[in-house]
Amino acid sequence: MRDAKSKRKLVKIVSTVLVFIAGILLVLILGLFTPWLWQLENATYDFVFRVRPRLSPPADIAIVSLDESSIKELGPMPWNRRVHAELLKKLKAGGAKMVVFDVLFDLPSEKYPEGDVEFTQAIALFGKKVILGKDLSTTSDPQFALEQPIEPLPAFTEAGAATGFVSTLPDADTKIRRSSWLVKEQTTLATQAYSELTGQKITLRNNQVYVGDHPVPTEWVTQYPGFMIHYVGPSHTIPTRSIYQVLDGTIPPGFVKDKIVFVGADLAAENKTGGPGVDRFPTPVDEDTLMPGVEIHANALNTILSGAFIRTAGPGVIWLLLLIFGILTSIYCGALKPVAAGVATFVTILVAGVAVYLIFANYNYWLPSVSPTFLIVFVYSGNTMVQYRLAYRERAQIQSAFKHYVSAEVLGELMKNPENLGLGGREVEATVLFTDIAGFSKISEKITPTELTQMLNQYFELLASVIMKEGGMVNKFIGDAVMAIWGVPLENPSHAIQACRAALQMHSAMLVMDPVKCRIGLNTGKMIAGNMGSKERFEYTVIGDAVNLASRLEGVNKPYHTDIMISEMTEEKVRGHFLLREVDSIRVVGKLKPVRIYQLLDTIANEGAPEHDRWKQMIDSFMPSLEAYRETSWERATQLFETHVKIFPEDPVGKIYLDRCRAFTAAPPVADWDGVYQMETK
């Protein structure tokens, strides 16, 4: 007994060590060969950056933007550079300390040459505190790559303007988190502005950037040395005014006095008139919008001026954290039961997350959190799985034997209730969906078997993904048809709503396969759910009249030229959640009892959308016409449907009723006509 206990303890220790080593190796592999960890790390950094307390906008920086309002007031681009000359004069008169143009002035103006002269004079008049943007032009082919700087016109620099690269330093996910110190060992707009303000030269020595003789935080993310931008807030946090406001003197008094003024584009869409294009970029502080490039440069300068550099932990710190948290979690798993170890692990992750936030918010130091968290979860999960492995070996064998024959939902039920492996079933209320491809035979005649297989696989993949996302079970594929169920094998009170939501999504998903279209039918009701078949081979499915009706409703779409048809039983369950149009009262083939059918059009959540409103208007026009039809007022119904068809020519159901009304006007139905339409085909 003691030997067996010691052996189990030894196995537990060995497995814990092996799981820990495997976790370390996995983190190393994921970090070196996949983008997952750094993508999650960046996303975590962005989230913390957005929720941390914001900095106050800089008091010594302002932005003058070339925006849509300026173009509206001053005319389409390109402007006469007299505009920029006047802008410089206005800024000088307003007391601006420095003007930084995030604009390229690399080509002479053929249309307004006098404007270049005036801009040159304005630069000279302003003094040596004007910085113009420059960029790199890259020419490459398989043989060589050539980078050449795009410089401002010599006349502008000879007049006293300095230059700086406008290049940004995007991460692999295109977000701008960093700014370059130097590009090709030359300054950027922000670093040149700082150099001009302080008189200190920025240089690169032995892969370290120096401002004067002082080293500064440097990160080598690409070929250029950079630093993390300490954004003061989302877009337009730094005080901003339009160029035309400066020119017409409507900016607040003192707006530019003693400030470094950045001038650049802030256009929401590409300018098609020859001027600058879109100059907005994703940043960590803007969740749904883009920040103008000129404001990114302004934030970069403010980071340098304030000295509030964000430092990130190096590899040594990262591996130390991995070792600490990995060992700590291994101790939890070895000393505690799985549930208690899980609670301790969760608390550790929570405390570590709070610590990361507080350290970043108070000390501008970013500690990685994703890699340690991944290792913690991996070590805990790995050890828990090892501990349960022997106890559930028999269960795992059953699962391995049946996973290729039944769905994951059914398998879960079987694992919890093995006695359900026998034949039989139980009565449930559920919603069944049938769908098939409209005109499948004609489509299959026009393409090869290989193309047909590829099309069906794409079709099934699209529909199955929607069904499972909405909590349904793909029960079977029958040729080009799909059968799905909601409400079994697990009870679900929202089965009808989820099924209708899935139907709308399936219809939308099929747009990518145009001209392939699907027809969908849904019904809700009582049915038998369980294992059907023989003792040697069976499948989990549902049977009953409610299932058959769902199949019939899919076919009803064809004569009515609709896409999604639901029964009155389903309509009762989903009323108020979707936009529905009552279509008819029908008697399907093989059934005596009539059923009202409804066309599923849209979700109520889309109310206000143009297409949604059009459908509502169509319903409001259709229902009085249908009422007149059921009252056998053939002349009035005909007039109403004629008006309806003129207003809504896209509605095939209205045209069908118009034909019926004309036919009944000529040959009225029997006196005891009940308004039910008898379907002739399945």
pLDDT digits (tens, 9 = 90+) for 228-257: 999 999 999 999 999 999 999 888 888 999
User: In the numeric block, which tokens belong to residue 363?
Assistant: 């000390």
Q: Can you give the pLDDT at residue 484?
A: 92
Name the percent of the chain lying above pLDDT 90. Answer: 45
Looking at residue 272, its pLDDT comes to 38
Q: Is the pLDDT of residue 14 over 80?
A: no
Helix (H, G, I), strand (E, B) or coil at 3: helix
Mean pLDDT of the chain: 85
Radius of gyration of the chain (CA): 35
Using alpha carbons, select from 519, 544, 559, 512 the residue that is nearest to residue 433.
519
Buried b (16+ CB within 10 A) or exposed e, 341-361: bbebbeebbeebeeebbeebe
- Comparing CA positions, the residue from 574, 575, 571 lying closest to residue 585 is 571
Q: CB neighbours of 465 closer than 8 A, spacing ≥ 6?
A: none
pLDDT score of 11: 63
Residue 296 reports pLDDT greater than 50: yes
Kindly state the percentage of the chain with pLDDT values over 70.
Answer: 89
Quickly count helices (H) and strands (E) in the chain. Answer: 22, 29
Sign of the CA dihedral running 112, 113, 114, 120 = positive
Maximum CA extent, the chain: 105
**What end-to-end distance do the CA atoms of the chain give, in Å?**
70
Reported as a single tens digit per residue, the pLDDT across 23-67 is: 888 888 887 788 888 888 889 999 998 888 888 899 999 999 998
DSSP state of 310: B
Listed in sequence order, the residues at least 6 apart from 21 whose beta carbon sits closer than 8 Å to its beta carbon are none
The 10s digit of each residue's pLDDT in 145-170 is 677 888 999 999 999 999 999 988 78
Band of pLDDT at residue 398, cut at 50, 70 and 90: very low
Q: What is the pLDDT of residues 504-537, one digit of tens each?
A: 999 988 888 877 888 999 999 999 988 777 766 6
